[in-house]
Structure 1
Amino acid sequence: MSLIRPALLAAVLAMPLPALADTPADTLVVAQNIDDIVAIDPAQAYEFTSGELVTNVYDRLVQYDAADTTTLAPGLASSWEIDAEAKTITFTLRDGVTFHSGNPVRPEDVVFSLSRVVQLNLTPAFILTQLGWTPENVAEMITAGDGTVTIRYAGDFSPAFVMNVLAARPASIVDEVTVMEHAEGDDLGNAWLNANSAGTGPFSLRMFRPAELIRLQANADYFNGAPAIDSVIIRHVSESATQQLLLEQGDVDMARNLTPDQIAGLDGEALSVETFPQAAVHFLSFNQADAQLTNPAVWEAARYLVNYEGMVDSFLAGQMDVHQAFWPDGFPGALNDTPYTYDPARAEQILSDAGVELPITVTLDVINAAPFTDMAQSLQASFAEAGINFEILPGSGSQVITRYRERSHQAMLLYWGPDFMDPHSNAKAFAYNSDNSQDAYAATTTWRNSWAVPQEMNDLTTAALTEADPAARQEMYLDLQRQVQENSPIVIMFQAAYQVAMAQDVTGYVNGATSDFVYYRLVEKAE
């Protein structure tokens, strides 16, 4: 494998169609569409690719790491003490950690970082402000001690919920000294951090050219161990066909945005493909404002009228896996049982036993794009076998979502993803609706489908949010998932999957269920 000097490599990467050449042994070169990035400041970053960048450049007090994306582990905090009664968590900071600038990590940096998110109040701030933090009280809620930081929260929350909030993207810790050296007016360094970085993570940001290039440099002093690869270069390549060509020529080590057809056509001896479950769950739902859809027998029959395997074995191959619970696989506390299979005869019997008058004609709203239209056509064919006839109403994403928010649909084919890694993020959406009135809008699937959730389920969702015992809390969420799975007008069918193609000599790449769990720290390239 030939080596390319850094200057020459930069020139090659700038070319629209690079010449054929092996990538450097100590550098991972990635072809990826990165034009979704609006901001890379952790207090503002809210796009998929910016989430990946933040995760690799910054740390949080506690975090899910490349070594195990299902376990909340110490980050910049080496330990913590929880006082659930007083609603406080005291974190002891890890000794000897420095920012990429060489500045030591201080309790004051933590206070500054978290307070800064609240004060700037940009898009992801809501994740932290749900702890009761405001610009007026944040100085009292987050305080520095001697090597410690004490965090207070307001509200009836389980400490586990609070810990997951603190593991979310906007809770990333930045270098106060460096950031404030570059502050402009009252922006708290926002403009500078949208072009630079000031973290402690396994990589530092060495170059960022929007919609063109990201270059990350390994942090040899990283407290969890230096990355196995020296640098990562992410090239913006918008066309999947070009990504495939570059990968097959050896000009890049990894292609992140290939289509299923392209994946299927790759040379299996020269290249490998890894599939990673993603957080989005896809579901079919019935609006309970329509009287013909309120019989629980319709909900139950629907679960046996989805041709799950038929779809994932054909046009959804590599894009989705069968998943029938609201919390995604890959997250702690996910229910991975799949008790429902395609069984039209059983569905017919359920409807007959319940005395449901057939046929039923139902409009089905769907985003007018693949694979959603293909999924809708499959549902149309399979449901017709039991006398439920779908009239497909395709529309743009905004049109479909607007009808959903207005509750003007009959049936809806959509997907949902969590905002942060705590099961309450989805439990509130699928298992809670305390006020079903038309003027009580809530951004949940329950309210949007006019489903007045049984009071016992509402109570269990509230209780799970406040439960202090982690094991008991997890059991409560498993129970909620089973209840929604068995008896609700929301039929959860699939979990999205993501395929990444790479050279055979690349190992150790980790792509968890969200963009916040994309890690390059363990990547190696065989000699």
Structure 2
Amino acid sequence: MRKFIAGLVMGTALATAPLMAQAETPKNALVMAFAIDDIITLDPAQIFEFSGAEYAGNTYDRLIGFDNDDVSKIYGVIAESWDVSEDGKTFTFKIRDGIEFASGNDLTAEDAAFSLQRVILLDQSPAFILGQFGFTADNVKEKIYATDDSTLVMEVDQPYAPSFVLYCLTAGVGAVVDKEEVLAHEVDGDLGHEWLKTNYAGSGPFKLNKWTAGESLSLTANEDYWDGAPAMKRVIIQSVKEAAAQQLLLEKGDIDIARNLEADQLASISGNDDIKLLSKGKGALWYLGLSQKNEYLSNPKVREALKYLVDYKGISETILAGRSQIHQAFLPEGFLGAYNENPYSLDIEKAKSLLAEAGYPDGFSVTMDTRNTTSIMAMAQSIQATWAQVGINLEIIPGDGKQTLTKYRARQHDIYIGRWGPDYQDPHTNASTFAWNPDNSDDAAAKPLAWRNSWDAGDLTAKTDAATLERDDAKRAAMYVDLQKDVLENGPFVIMFQETEIASMRGNVNNFVLGPSFDNNYYRYVTKD
């Protein structure tokens, strides 16, 4: 990494300079305003946030990927090809020759094996994506290994649907890190984790230049990238949370892309010929998580009442106008087995009746942890006003992305409002978090959304596991529909909307890619007129 530092001085200066001082952006740099305050780490074995996932998707290569326009088409990235054994339990990958890390080290099957092993050994938030295949700290080195420089073997514990296994390797945990570089920074057996939280050891089209938490992130092009160097030599992301500020920067030409414009800003720029919009349906869902440790929220009648106390239509047509559709089941539209019926709508009288049945005719007081971005705060305030009509006093507790997520992951909330995005394109990605919770204790190893909300999912856990072993797509889809109906009726989630992401761009920006997941938003193809 050291040999690249001298060449990055200009990029660092630009990334840290006030954007308002710029007359225009450089022709060879992509400059964005984007709320990236949710980034907690840059280690792909730990990244589990939207902005962090996008960073990793542009800086690290994975074993395999999928076509953004047809996710059923899986293709090799680092893995040139693969085979699945007849019993469905052994996956053998042929590693592509000629890939180098930023350090100059050759990428081999040993790096791939180490990277997957490292995910399990570090046991950070996304480790369950691989751990669900029977890998543990005790067995992972025997189950995931390289037989030579170009052959990686992965032995899973059951004959899962092959697409399920492969889709999991398209997730962030499938990123391959430079074993030699990472271990050179190991401290007290941490596998280089503390160092990689703020540094880089990948082979992707871009390399880390500098990250200043909550402020900016800058990348520089990998000129030796095996699949062709990016046209943009730098990517500079300034963390700007206010949508109005992003709009002003975009209109002045101080940035190329604004990533978080709200309905008001989108309407305002609609007549500006210098700006164009790019949209893509995402798998991300807006939802409320209701802690079952709270005496009120643990009452099933209260949970049902709250599902009738959201102005779904109003929020979708105003706060999230053009950026969402009403969707109340945990599988996004477009996924195998997605249930696209929306049984709940705003019904104050129905909610009052349910609260009376629950024993709370006069309501109660509760708090909601809310990331302080424009859309989320506006949604929270809408819900607050609606709930006041039935006597529920909702206190909004604002915080940045890191603060609210950290509290949520520690089960210290009453209600959490936020987004959930799928980690991979198989339906198990959401079933395994909304409908699966094998251990509801505070010190559980697995911590899905059901666990975060202290919900014992009962027999849904076993049903979720069973769906991963079904190889008939039609039968498997039916199993997921049943799971969604159960969670809709009984779960501690008020799922509200499915997101449409919009990038607002200067007219000279071309080929920016929005994908179905945030780690499939790509910078490498961008050009400027």
TM-score range, shorter chain: 0.7 to 0.9
Residue deviations 1:317-349 (CA, integer Å, cap 9, x gap): 35543112112346x32626244474759x869
Give the aligned partner of residue 210 of structure 2: 208
SS at match of 2:58: helix
Match of 1:244 in 2: 247
Q: CA–CA distance in 2 between the matches of 1:187 and 1:59? A: 22
| TM superposition shift of 1:96 | 3.7
Which position in structure 2 is the counterpart of 1:168? 171
1:138 aligns with 2:140: yes
Does 2:313 match 1:312? no
Residues 310, 49 of structure 1: alpha-carbon distance in 2 compared, 3 angstrom cutoff:
closer
Q: Distance in 2 between matches of 1:109 and 1:281?
A: 37
Give the length in aligned residue pairs.
Answer: 504
**2: CA distance, partners of 1:26 / 1:67:** 27
Q: For 2:146, give the aligned amino acid.
A: A
Counterpart in 1 of 2:392? 391
Partner of 2:268: 265
Deviations 1:486-523, CA, capped at 9 Å, x for gaps: 67675432234544322122233233454323211332
1:86, distance to aligned residue in structure 2 (A): 6.2
Measured against aligned partners, the alpha-carbon deviations of 1:151-186 in whole angstroms (never above 9, x if no partner) come to 123367544433333222132112334444555674
Give 1 or 2 for the bigger CA radius of gyration: 1
Instruction: Indicate the residue corresponding to 2:463 in structure 1.
Output: 460
What is the distance in 2 between the residues matched to 1:449 and 1:38? 21
Task: Tell me which residue corresponds to 1:417.
Answer: 420
Hey, what does 1:282 align to over in structure 2?
287
Q: Are 1:371 and 2:378 matched, yes or no?
A: yes
Deviation at residue 260 of structure 1 after TM alignment: 4.1
- Note if contact 1:326-1:430 (Cα within 8 Å) is conserved in structure 2: yes
Q: 1:21 — aligned with what?
A: 23
Distance 1:379 1:334, change over 3 A: farther
Q: Secondary structure at the residue paired with 2:31?
A: strand
Name the CA distance, whole Å, in 2 between partners of 1:25 and 1:431. 48
Q: Is the 8 A contact 1:56 1:520 kept in 2?
A: yes
TM-score (ref. length: structure 1): 0.77
Question: Is 2:112–2:177's contact at 8 Å kept on the other side of the alignment?
Answer: yes
CA contact (8 A) 1:219 1:226 kept: yes
Distance in 2 between the 1:143 and 1:403 partners?
35
RMSD between superposed Cα atoms in Å: 4.6
Query: How many percent identity over aligned positions?
Result: 35
1:509 correspondence with 2:512: yes
The structure 2 residue matched to 1:105, chosen from 107, 111, 115, is 107
Q: Deviations over 1:173-227 (max 9, x none)?
A: 12334444555674544455445433232x131522424441220556433x554
Distance in 2 between residues matched to 1:368 and 1:6, nearest whole Å: 39
Distance 1:427 1:268, change over 3 A: same
- The verdict on how the C-alpha distance between 1:518 and 1:86 changes in structure 2, with shifts beyond 3 A counting, is closer
Whether the aligned pair in 2 keeps the contact of 1:303 and 1:340 (CA below 8 Å) is no
What is the identity, as a one-letter code, of the residue corresponding to 2:312? Y
Deviation string, structure 1 residues 388-437 (Cα, Å, up to 9, x no partner)? x341332537899989998997xx67456257224334324433567899
**Counterpart Cα distance in 2 of 1:38 and 1:291:** 29
- SS, match of residue 173 in structure 1: coil
Unpaired runs of 5+ residues, structure 2, are 1-6, 371-376
Letter in 2 for 1:333: L
Q: CA deviation at 1:54?
A: 1.5
Instruction: Name the counterpart of 2:4.
Output: none
> Is the CA contact (8 Å cut-off) linking 1:66 and 1:519 kept in structure 2?
no
Local SS of the residue matching 1:393:
strand
SS of 2:157's equivalent? coil
Amino acid across the alignment from 2:520: F
* 1:518 paired residue number: 521
1:166-245 mapped onto 2 (5 Å cutoff): 166-180=169-183, 186-190=189-193, 193-201=196-204, 203-205=205-207, 207-210=209-212, 211-219=215-223, 221-223=225-227, 226-227=229-230, 229-238=231-240, 240=242, 241-245=244-248
2:373 matched residue in structure 1? none
The answer to whether the Cα contact below 8 Å between 1:218 and 1:230 also exists between their aligned partners in 2 is: no
Does the 8 Å CA contact 2:47/2:53 hold for their aligned counterparts?
yes
TM-score by length of 2: 0.76
Which amino acid is the alignment partner of residue 394 of structure 1?
E
Contact 1:436 1:451 (C-alpha < 8 Å) held by counterparts: yes
